[in-house]
Amino acid sequence: MPATRIMPTEEGQELIDLTREICDKELRPKAGDVEAAAAAAGDAFPTEAFRTLGQAGLLSLPYPEEFGGGGQPYEVYLQVVEEIASAWMSVAVGTSVHSLTAYPVAEYGTDAQRAALMPGMLSGEQLGAYCLSEQQAGSDIASMTTRAAKDGNDWVINGRKAWISHAGHADYYTCFVRTSNDGGRGLSCLHVPAGTEGLSFAQPERKMGLHGDTVGEVIFENVRVPGENLLGSEGQGINIALAALDSGRLGIAAASTGLAQAALDLAAAYATQRHQFGRPIGDNQGLAFMVADMEAAVTSARATYLHAARLKDAGRPFSKQAAVAKLVASDAAMKVTTDAVQVLGGAGYTQDFPAERYFRDAKITQIFEGTNQIQRLVISRHVLGDART
Amino acid sequence: MNIVVCVKHVPDAQSERTFNDSDNTTDREGVDGLLSELDEYAVEEALKLVEASEGEVTVLTVGPAGAADALKKALQMGAHKAVHVTDDAIHGSDAPATSLLLAKAIEKIGTPDVVITGMASTDGTMGVVPAMLAERLNLPMVTYASQLTIDGSAVTARRDGDTASETIEATLPALVSVTDQINEPRYPSFKGIMAAKKKPVETWGLGDLGVDAGQVGLGAAWTKVDSFAKRPPREKGEIVTDEGDGGTKLAEFLASRKFI
Ligand SMILES: Cc1cc2nc3c(=O)[nH]c(=O)nc-3n(C[C@H](O)[C@H](O)[C@H](O)COP(=O)(O)OP(=O)(O)OC[C@H]3O[C@@H](n4cnc5c(N)ncnc54)[C@H](O)[C@@H]3O)c2cc1C
């Protein structure tokens, strides 16, 4: 069942209608096959899906219209991401990551940088990658070692980034690099276009799920970009990265909610159709209550991300609420997809139904854009910090 | 080049479609309606032609208030303006009456270089309105085009039949109906959705077209639905037991259904 939504505007509702049409006709029917092909080949990318979304204007919704964006509040943008996730999780994650990559330019770029870079990023024809994590610097990003050194007016980057979504497929790379030895204060953000000399990619990772999201190492060997590619000021990198993640987490929360909704819909339909002991399995209270808990989990996930989104749209602090939403929604996705496999029984464990794919796709939501332990760190610091003052 | 595309608002084929108990006409109230999918190809083809040269695409529909949704979708896809012919007296109109209204409306719009229609509606699926309309407008008619090019004052279309493909040429102005093979209709974009809000939609009644209420509607219809019955529930599939001749039996089955 499509989720019941109250959209803040008529255009918001029209956007949801458009998204649902594209999901039904273009995304949902293809998701299973492309994911399976990507799993087998290690590297098949939903290029066509992103092109369709881009042409429809769905890859640039939360950015200003003057640069080609949709000028939509997060409340609307995130519900679009949720709808996409209910059809195809990898593509929803890609949509969210792409938004994340434009954030540093939109919020920290100069007018000249915005005018030069944003129209391309928001054209629907480009896809970005967000290069933060490294093999030895995952949760602890301040320990990163990829370096950019000043050479005349240029920056020269050396090092490796790990688990980067869209590696090798992106049109540009929004990179966080060390520009001084000053710990967390020694990081900066650089814009690196695809095709820059010295930029290369390792074999994509073989993963548990989310196969359509190609993930791999990005390797920098004397990658040279001009000084004007520095986004924000030197040393501001960690602030930019964390601010971007506050918003990015909401995208992951919305995607997690959509994934959970898809699993719930599948389980509910199956529970009414599958008969055992002479009646639908859903007629057993033991199973019906499981479905009720799944619905409660999906509804609370949606409520938490929408609450955070509305705070953000109103210009209020929302970092704590974004972490809560990411935590609640990703845990809901894990629980609901696990239970969906259970409702489908043996069929749920086979690839005849998408339940097992939903289950595999869910796990990553508890890990990326800050593990759920890190979300608890963020939340507790806010709560205890507030209590101290 | 100016193009008029005739579009129809039809009940969503995905939902439970039925007829009204009172007069056996199509139920348009109880189900979600949408722009007939076969008409999306006509809109797309018109947009491509205009984008390749210049001019305007006007979308035209005859239908009750809800039919405005079909116009809206076409405007969101990129059509420039829309005309909605609506009047309570039109309810129950058959194909001749519909073609009369479309012809009068097109004359009022000003006969364009090309009139494009889908090959049939997805509800009535009669596929006769394009021919009737061409006759009324006194235009050359090319139906079931699966490829279309316009060069100067000539339109060239390919028609794919079961055994052969024909290439047909006609002079402009002309009427063309297109198949679902001709193109891949675009989705509206978000910008298209926003732009559509500002595009002109005119609403015309019978009076605007100089058509008399007696010429249209259920009363004037040449055909009438006497009764309707729900399609029986789907029967169980046929199981062919292989007694050495399974292949032949399968082939016979497929041939009897005209699949091979
Ligand atoms: C499919 C996929 C896509 C990704 N996409 C991107 C991308 O596009 N860009 C990008 O930059 N990165 C990306 N990542 C990387 C991802 O963000 C990191 O994997 C994540 O931040 C965790 O880092 P880590 O793997 O090094 O785990 P670690 O930091 O080593 O953590 C291991 C475990 O220790 C726990 N832990 C660590 N520190 C603490 C603490 N202080 N308190 C309690 N527990 C702690 C963690 O919660 C976790 O359970 C992606 C990863 C995957 C798998």
Quote the CA–CA distance of A252 and A326 in Å, as a whole number.
7
Please give the mean pLDDT across all residues of chain A.
Answer: 96
Contacts A–B by Cβ distance under 8 A: 25
Q: How many CB atoms lie within 10 A of CB A315?
A: 7
Q: Are A351 and A275 in contact (CB under 8 A)?
A: no
In 3D, which of A192, A184, A130, A182 has the Cα closest to residue A161?
Answer: A130
Domain residue limits, chain B: 3-228
Mean pLDDT of A298-307: 98
Q: Is the per-residue pLDDT at A74 higher than 90?
A: yes
Judged by a CB distance cut-off of 8 A, whether residue A3 touches chain B is no
User: How does pLDDT run across A145-157, given as a tens digit for each residue?
Assistant: 999 999 999 999 9
What is the share, in percent, of chain B residues with pLDDT greater than 70? 100
Quote the CA–CA distance of A188 and A131 in Å, as a whole number.
12
Q: Ligand 1 pocket check: which of A371, A373, A378, A381 to mutate, most ligand atoms within 8 Å of Cβ? A: A371
Q: Is A210 in the pocket of ligand 1 (CB under 6 A)?
A: yes
State the Cα torsion B202-B205-B211-B216 to the nearest 10°: 120
> Which tokens belong to B105?
């409306």
Nearest residue in B to A68, CA atom: B191
Determine, for residues A57 and B189 on separate chains, whether the beta-carbon distance falls below 8 Å.
yes
Phi-psi region of B213 (alpha: psi -120 to 50; beta: other; left: phi over 0): alpha
pLDDT of residue B25: 83
Q: Is the per-residue pLDDT at B30 higher than 80?
A: no
Query: What is the DSSP pairing of strand A275-276 with strand A279-280?
Result: antiparallel
pLDDT of residue A389: 78
Quote the CA–CA distance of B40 and B179 in Å, as a whole number.
10
Nearest CB among B189, B193, B194 relative to A55 is that of B189
pLDDT of residue A140: 95
Quote the minimal CA–CA distance from A365 to chain B in Å. 28
Judged by a CB distance cut-off of 8 A, whether residue A291 touches chain B is no
CA–centroid distance, A216 to ligand 1, in Å, is 14
User: Best mutation site among A15, A18, A125 for testing chain B: the one with the most B CBs within 10 Å?
Assistant: A18
- Coil, helix or strand at residue A18: helix
Tell me which of B232 and A80 has the higher pLDDT. Answer: A80
Q: Is the per-residue pLDDT at B69 higher than 90?
A: yes
Q: Is the per-residue pLDDT at A97 higher than 80?
A: yes
- Coil, helix or strand at residue A172: strand
In 3D, which of A250, A144, A135 has the Cα closest to residue A189?
Answer: A144
Q: Are A329 and A301 in contact (CB under 8 A)?
A: yes
Determine, for residues B187 and A55 on separate chains, whether the beta-carbon distance falls below 8 Å.
yes
pLDDT of residue B47: 97
Q: Is the per-residue pLDDT at B227 higher than 80?
A: yes
Q: How confident is the model at residue B239 (pLDDT cuts 50, 70, 90)?
A: confident
- Which of A212-221, B90-99, B209-218 has the largest mean confidence? A212-221
pLDDT of residue B23: 84
Determine, for residues A56 and B194 on separate chains, whether the beta-carbon distance falls below 8 Å.
no
Quote the CA–CA distance of B150 and B175 in Å, as a whole number.
12
Q: Which CATH number does the domain B3-228 belong to among 3.90.1170.50, 3.40.50.620, 3.10.20.740, 2.60.40.10?
A: 3.40.50.620
Judged by a CB distance cut-off of 8 A, whether residue A21 touches chain B is yes
Q: Is the per-residue pLDDT at B15 higher than 90?
A: no
Cβ-Cβ contacts under 8 Å, B194 against chain A? 11
Please give the helix or strand (H or E) that residue B111 lies within, else none. Answer: none
User: How does pLDDT run across A246-268, given as a tens digit for each residue?
Assistant: 999 999 999 999 999 999 999 99
pLDDT of residue B17: 80
Query: What is the DSSP pairing of strand A215-226 with strand A128-131?
Result: unpaired
In 3D, which of B178, B184, B182, B157 has the Cα closest to residue B169?
Answer: B157
User: How does pLDDT run across A181-192, given as a tens digit for each residue?
Assistant: 999 999 999 999
Locus of tokens 């000021």: A233
Mean pLDDT of B119-133: 89
Quote the CA–CA distance of A58 and B43 in Å, as a whole number.
22
pLDDT of residue B48: 96
pLDDT of residue B32: 82
Identify residue A101 by its one-letter amino acid code: T
Quote the CA–CA distance of A56 and A50 in Å, as a whole number.
10
Tell me which of B235 and A346 has the higher pLDDT. Answer: A346
Residues in chain B: 260
Nearest CB among A11, A22, A61 relative to B193 is that of A11
Q: Ligand 1 pocket check: which of A90, A95, A132, A139 to mutate, most ligand atoms within 8 Å of Cβ? A: A139
For chain B, first and last CA: distance in Å? 43
Quote the CA–CA distance of A253 and A365 in Å, as a whole number.
8
Cβ-Cβ contacts under 8 Å, A83 against chain B? none
Least confident stretch, A339-353, B129-143, B230-244:
B230-244
Q: How confident is the model at residue B225 (pLDDT cuts 50, 70, 90)?
A: confident
Alpha helix positions (H), chain A: 10-22, 28-41, 47-55, 74-87, 89-108, 111-121, 237-273, 285-313, 319-349, 355-363, 372-388
In 3D, which of A55, A74, A50, A53 has the Cα closest to residue A63?
Answer: A74
Q: How confident is the model at residue B241 (pLDDT cuts 50, 70, 90)?
A: confident
User: How does pLDDT run across A327-374, given as a tens digit for each residue?
Assistant: 999 999 999 999 999 999 999 999 999 999 999 999 999 999 999 999
Mean pLDDT of A65-87: 97
pLDDT of residue A286: 97
In 3D, which of B186, B188, B190, B151 has the Cα closest to residue B172?
Answer: B151
Q: Is the per-residue pLDDT at B116 higher than 90?
A: yes
Q: Is the per-residue pLDDT at B98 higher than 90?
A: yes
Q: Is the per-residue pLDDT at B31 higher than 80?
A: no
> Which tokens belong to B37?
């999918």
DSSP B174-206: EEEEE-TTS--PPPPPHHHHHHHTTS-EEEE-H
Mean pLDDT of A11-40: 94
CA–centroid distance, A45 to ligand 1, in Å, is 23
Q: Is A133 in the pocket of ligand 1 (CB under 6 A)?
A: yes
Mean pLDDT of A81-105: 98
Quote the minimal CA–CA distance from A97 to chain B in Å. 20
Mean pLDDT of B225-230: 87
Mean pLDDT of A105-112: 97
Quote the CA–CA distance of B21 and A301 in Å, as a whole number.
45
Q: Is the per-residue pLDDT at A224 higher than 90?
A: yes
Map out the domains of chain A with their CATH numbers: 10-121 (1.10.540.10), 128-234 (2.40.110.10), 239-388 (1.20.140.10)
pLDDT of residue B242: 87
Q: How many CB atoms lie within 10 A of CB A234?
A: 16
Q: Is A97 in the pocket of ligand 1 (CB under 6 A)?
A: yes
